Amino acid sequence: MSSATAIEWPEGASGFGRLRLRFRAWRRTRPFWGGLLAVIAGLPIVYFPYADLQLGQLTVTMATTAGAGSLLIGLLMMTLGVTAWFQPLVRIFCGVAVTILSLVSIPVSNLGGFGLGLILGLFAGGLLCSWAPLKPSAVQVDEAVPSTSAEYSAEPGQTVSIPAQAEPPAESVPAESVPAESASAEQSAADPGERR
């Protein structure tokens, strides 16, 4: 059983259990992991240009003129990740934008936050672009389906997938309903030699 097919509200769930299940139901309907990676990828891109790193007795300051560009790229990546959570229809735009911003962060933001923001951003862009909503599940049959065909009948509680309806075959017109004039015209056209 995957998280996509789990029962939404099992009996006897506690307050924390219900909250966890509610979050899981919310998470399944949107590109959650791609958005989370985009938010996490923006953090090192924003942090390293403004950080003072200590290497033993040596203080390394990364403040450069690219600090404003790094701040802009990192905040945009985080914003796109959150946008993909709350507006799943724009997930492809967000994924492409996160991928482009990750690549732009290589020259602008210290090799993309020393590679951390770059790698996470590329994964986030791919996850956002490839996510698709779940297809509707099969029809749950509560009562037996009355049908003359064996392929559509089911027992109570059995899951049945109903195929798309095909076009009904064209019915031929019975001979009795054809007018007499048109029947004689067809016979005379068929046998021109017998007409007198």
The 10s digit of each residue's pLDDT in 72-118 is 999 999 999 999 999 999 999 999 999 999 999 888 887 878 889 99
Is the separation of the CB atoms in 162 and 139 below 8 Å? yes
Q: How far apart are CA 179 and CA 183, in angstroms?
A: 6
**N residues, the chain:** 196
- From first CA to last CA, the distance across the chain in angstroms is 81
Q: How far apart are CA 95 and CA 75, in angstroms?
A: 15
Q: How high is the pLDDT of residue 123?
A: 95
pTM of the prediction?
0.59
